[in-house]
């Protein structure tokens, strides 16, 4: 075949090709999620256990004063609901990164990485897909919570959506960044101990920051600088139709930094991903 | 041009690439590529090319550097030194244009076992920007061709090893590439499945004009009309048409030619 007959698209890729690619990656992620019913169930059971057992038990112990965005005294269950929503997204983000490590070990990740669209865009699509899956879980949780009388204003279900997308992207890109440095699936247990638990407990998810400050000023600052705290607060305010500007800035900034870091880490020229053939290959 | 002609022209006979049209843009061009993992050299100054509509066997033992080379061509690894081009598009400068023209079957399985046969193909098509309708048409067509039309809704994990490999080849062809790389594509398959896959890939060359680079360590997968690149310990020891490489090595058949070449390399009688 003559070289002149080889199709050459000098103009790069069309918008339609980018959209098709995004749709395909989201569709694949959703299919995988639906096939893994136990993942969906466990993603829901985890926050519900906290809500129905932990919060019910601590209701009498942990009083909540009137703090923004609340305009009256609230039940402890109402207070921790945004934290549990963020927890769903935190676990989902880490689960997505776990699946990236799995995909990399099993070779599936290569299918994604050798496709012709820019690698940064492919990873962004993967993040969007993970965030979309987390939204399904969050709204299922909110539906169940509604039956438990944890009901923000109706408009809150809509206004929380941008906050959920932003926090989902932040936590997903953090997971992706972490996954780039994990060489084996077995190492992922460390993520639970060193990322998920510290992020969740050193935040405003379970207790207000002023209470933390009373107990430990050092822990207060740790919580204050924890991006997860700001994801929780962003969601909390958005559920009541308000914007916490500081949290919005922190979550947006962290999402951008983590995303750039993840894209950098997956770039073959200077990334952190394994640069040797997988076992058995030569 | 014969070996004698080349020798008299002052060229080493193992450095020839006897293609009919030398002006043709190669499907794959590997120029002075070296790669190392820390202080271990995996590839050392590798040079060869694959012509369009040709079958080139990349022959080497385990550890020769075949998978490293594939990872560089597919941009899974960054190129440390040298140049790699696909139909004239340099992978480092225009990766999108280059990868568009490339189909790959990796040594490990890269299918999504939890998705169906059709879903795997549709996902791959989406990654190449092919719309749902067009992808569906191409999937049906290609599944019929490879004899998996009746398994379209089956989960991939329910397929046999041979069927999975055929599906991987079908997937690699879905976006209609002009160059196909296959890394040890028949490893772990029975004799019949190996023969079927090899036959299918050879037909792609003759019927569709696809350039194929077939990495293998099995001599019986190579026929005299193939182009051959012998890779050993990261170096290209010989390249050219199979018959010519055998003759140059002073051997009667491919396996003894390979043994002579690699034995000579190990004893240091070949130039570095």
Q: Does residue A277 carry a pLDDT above 60?
A: no
Residue whose tokens read 């607060």:
A233
Q: Does residue A202 carry a pLDDT above 50?
A: yes
Burial class (CB in 10 A: 0-12, 13-18, 19+), A27: middle
Closest listed residue to residue A255, CA positions, set A235, A230, A224: A230
Classified by CATH at the fold level, domain B3-101+178-267 comes out as Rossmann fold (3.40.50)
Region for residue A14 given its phi and psi (left: phi exceeds 0; alpha: psi -120 to 50; beta: otherwise): beta
Angle at A232 between CA A148 and CA A207, to 5 degrees: 75
The Cα of B17 is separated from the nearest Cα of chain A by a number of Å equal to 17
Q: Output the tens digit of pLDDT for each of chain B's 272 residues.
A: 333 333 333 333 333 334 444 457 899 999 999 999 888 899 999 999 999 999 999 999 888 899 899 999 998 888 999 999 999 999 989 989 999 999 999 888 888 888 899 999 999 999 999 999 999 999 998 898 888 888 899 999 999 888 898 899 899 989 999 999 999 888 877 888 788 888 888 998 998 899 999 999 888 899 888 999 999 999 999 999 999 999 888 888 888 888 888 876 555 544 44
> d(Cα B139, Cα B118) in Å, to the nearest integer?
7
**Which residue has better confidence, A272 or B142?**
B142
The residues near A153 (Cβ < 8 Å, ≥ 6 apart) are A240, A241
Could you read off the pLDDT of A124-175 as tens digits, one per residue? 998 999 999 999 999 999 999 898 888 889 999 999 999 999 999 999 999 8
Could you read off the pLDDT of A8-28 as tens digits, one per residue? 444 488 999 999 999 999 999
ipTM of the modeled complex: 0.79
- Cα atoms in the 13 Å half-sphere on the side-chain side of A28: 34
Task: Select the residue from B126, B134, B156 to test the A interface by mutation, using most A Cβ atoms within 10 A.
Answer: B126
In this prediction, residue B129 carries a pLDDT of: 93
In this prediction, residue B23 carries a pLDDT of: 53
Cβ distance A268 to B78 less than 8 Å, yes or no, reads yes
Of A108, A114, A268, the CB nearest to B112: A108
The H-assigned helical ranges of chain B are 3-8, 66-73, 95-100, 117-127, 132-145, 161-173, 191-208, 242-248, 254-267
Cβ distance A281 to B108 less than 8 Å, yes or no, reads yes
Q: How many helices (H) and strands (E) does chain A have?
A: 13, 0
User: Considering only CB atoms, which chain A residues are within 8 Å of B51?
Assistant: none
Q: How confident is the model at residue A6 (pLDDT cuts 50, 70, 90)?
A: very low
In this prediction, residue A279 carries a pLDDT of: 46
In this prediction, residue B8 carries a pLDDT of: 35
Give the count of beta carbons closer than 10 Å to the beta carbon of residue A270: 8
Contacts 24+ apart (CB under 8 A), B134-142: B135/B174, B138/B174, B139/B174, B142/B170, B142/B173, B142/B174
> d(Cα A32, Cα B126) in Å, to the nearest integer?
16
- Cα atoms in the 13 Å half-sphere on the side-chain side of A36: 15
Task: Select the residue from A109, A112, A114, A272 to test the B interface by mutation, using most B Cβ atoms within 10 A.
Answer: A114
Using CA of residue A62, residue A63, residue A69, residue A72, what is the dihedral sign?
Answer: positive
Give me Rg for the CA atoms of chain B.
19
For A201-224, give one letter per residue: b (16+ CB within 10 A) or e: ebbbbbbbbeebeeeeeeebeebb
In this prediction, residue B103 carries a pLDDT of: 93
- Integer CA distances (angstroms), B184 to A155, A205, A280, B1, B196, in order: 57, 51, 11, 31, 15
What residues 162-201 of chain B have any CB closer than 8 A to a CB of chain A?
178, 183
For B212-223, give one letter per residue: b (16+ CB within 10 A) or e: bbbbbbeeebbe
Using CA of residue A103, residue A107, residue A111, residue A116, what is the dihedral sign?
Answer: positive
| Local structure of residue A278 (DSSP, 8 states) | P
Q: How confident is the model at residue A232 (pLDDT cuts 50, 70, 90)?
A: very high
Token digits for B23? Answer: 């002006």
In this prediction, residue A7 carries a pLDDT of: 43
The Cα of A112 is separated from the nearest Cα of chain B by a number of Å equal to 7
Beta bridge partners of B104: B181
Could you read off the pLDDT of A170-197 as tens digits, one per residue? 999 998 888 877 766 666 677 777 888 8
Whether B180 and B105 have beta carbons less than 8 Å apart is answered as yes
Token digits for A183? Answer: 């060489």
Q: Against a cut of 0.95, is the pTM above it?
A: no
> d(Cα B38, Cα B28) in Å, to the nearest integer?
27
Region for residue A131 given its phi and psi (left: phi exceeds 0; alpha: psi -120 to 50; beta: otherwise): alpha
Structural domain boundaries in chain B: 3-101+178-267, 111-176
Of A115, A277, A281, the CB nearest to B128: A115
**Which residue has better confidence, A213 or B152?**
B152
Q: Does residue A37 carry a pLDDT above 80?
A: no
The Cα of A89 is separated from the nearest Cα of chain B by a number of Å equal to 24
Could you read off the pLDDT of A53-112 as tens digits, one per residue? 887 777 766 666 677 777 777 778 888 899 999 999 998 888 877 777 777 766 777 888
Beta bridge partners of B89: B86
In this prediction, residue B18 carries a pLDDT of: 42
In this prediction, residue A269 carries a pLDDT of: 61
3-state secondary structure of B180: strand
In this prediction, residue A9 carries a pLDDT of: 45
For B246-262, give one letter per residue: b (16+ CB within 10 A) or e: bbbbebeebeebbebbb
Whether B43 and B56 have beta carbons less than 8 Å apart is answered as no
Cβ distance A24 to B123 less than 8 Å, yes or no, reads yes
């Amino acid at each position: 075949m003559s070289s002149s007959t080889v199709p050459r698209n000098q103009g790069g890729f069309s918008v339609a090709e980018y959209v098709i690619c995004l749709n395909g990656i989201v569709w694949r992620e959703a299919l995988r999620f639906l096939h893994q019913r136990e993942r969906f169930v466990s993603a829901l059971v985890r926050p519900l256990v906290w809500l129905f057992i932990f919060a019910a038990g601590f209701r009498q112990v942990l009083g909540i004063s009137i703090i923004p965005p609340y305009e009256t005294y609230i039940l402890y269950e109402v207070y921790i609901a945004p934290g549990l929503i963020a927890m769903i997204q935190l676990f989902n983000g880490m689960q997505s990164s776990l699946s990236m490590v799995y995909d990399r070990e099993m070779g599936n990740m290569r299918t994604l990485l050798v496709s012709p669209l820019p690698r940064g865009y492919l990873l962004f699509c993967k993040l969007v897909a993970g965030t979309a899956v987390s939204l399904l879980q969050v709204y299922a949780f909110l539906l169940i919570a509604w039956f438990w009388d944890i009901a923000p204003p109706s408009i809150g279900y809509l206004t929380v959506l941008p906050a959920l997308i932003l926090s989902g992207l932040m936590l997903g890109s953090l997971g992706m960044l972490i996954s780039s440095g994990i060489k084996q699936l077995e190492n992922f247990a460390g993520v639970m101990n060193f990322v998920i638990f510290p992020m969740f407990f050193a935040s405003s998810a379970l207790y207000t920051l002023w209470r933390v400050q009373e107990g430990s000023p050092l822990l207060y600052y740790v919580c204050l600088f924890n991006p997860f705290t700001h994801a929780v607060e962003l969601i909390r305010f958005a559920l009541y139709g308000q914007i916490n500007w500081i949290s919005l800035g922190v979550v947006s900034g962290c999402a951008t930094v983590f995303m750039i870091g993840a894209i950098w880490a997956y770039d073959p020229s200077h990334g952190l991903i394994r640069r040797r053939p997988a076992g058995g290959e030569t | 041009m014969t070996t004698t002609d080349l020798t008299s022209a002052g060229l080493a006979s193992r450095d020839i690439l006897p293609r009919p049209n030398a002006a043709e843009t190669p499907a794959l061009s590997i120029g002075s590529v070296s790669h190392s993992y820390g202080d271990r050299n995996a590839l050392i100054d590798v040079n060869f090319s694959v012509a369009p509509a040709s079958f080139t066997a990349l022959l080497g033992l385990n550890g020769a550097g075949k998978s490293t080379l594939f990872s560089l061509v597919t941009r899974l690894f960054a190129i440390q030194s040298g140049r790699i081009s696909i139909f004239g598009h340099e992978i480092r400068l225009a990766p999108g244009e280059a990868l568009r023209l490339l189909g790959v079957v990796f040594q490990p399985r890269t299918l999504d076992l939890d998705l169906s046969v059709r879903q795997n193909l549709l996902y791959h098509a989406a990654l190449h920007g092919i719309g749902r309708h067009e992808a569906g048409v191409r999937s049906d067509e290609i599944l019929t061709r490879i004899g998996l039309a009746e398994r379209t809704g089956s989960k991939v994990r329910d397929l046999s090893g041979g069927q999975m490999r055929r599906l991987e080849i079908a997937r690699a062809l879905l976006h209609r590439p002009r160059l196909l790389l296959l890394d040890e594509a028949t490893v772990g398959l029975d004799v019949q499945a190996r023969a079927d896959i090899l036959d299918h890939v050879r037909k792609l060359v003759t019927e569709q004009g696809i350039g194929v680079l077939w990495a293998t360590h099995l001599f019986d997968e190579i026929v005299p009309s193939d182009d051959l690149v012998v890779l050993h310990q990261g170096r290209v020891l010989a390249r050219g048409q199979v018959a010519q490489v055998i003759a140059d090595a002073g051997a009667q058949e491919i396996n003894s030619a390979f043994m002579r070449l690699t034995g000579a390399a190990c004893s240091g009688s070949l130039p570095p």
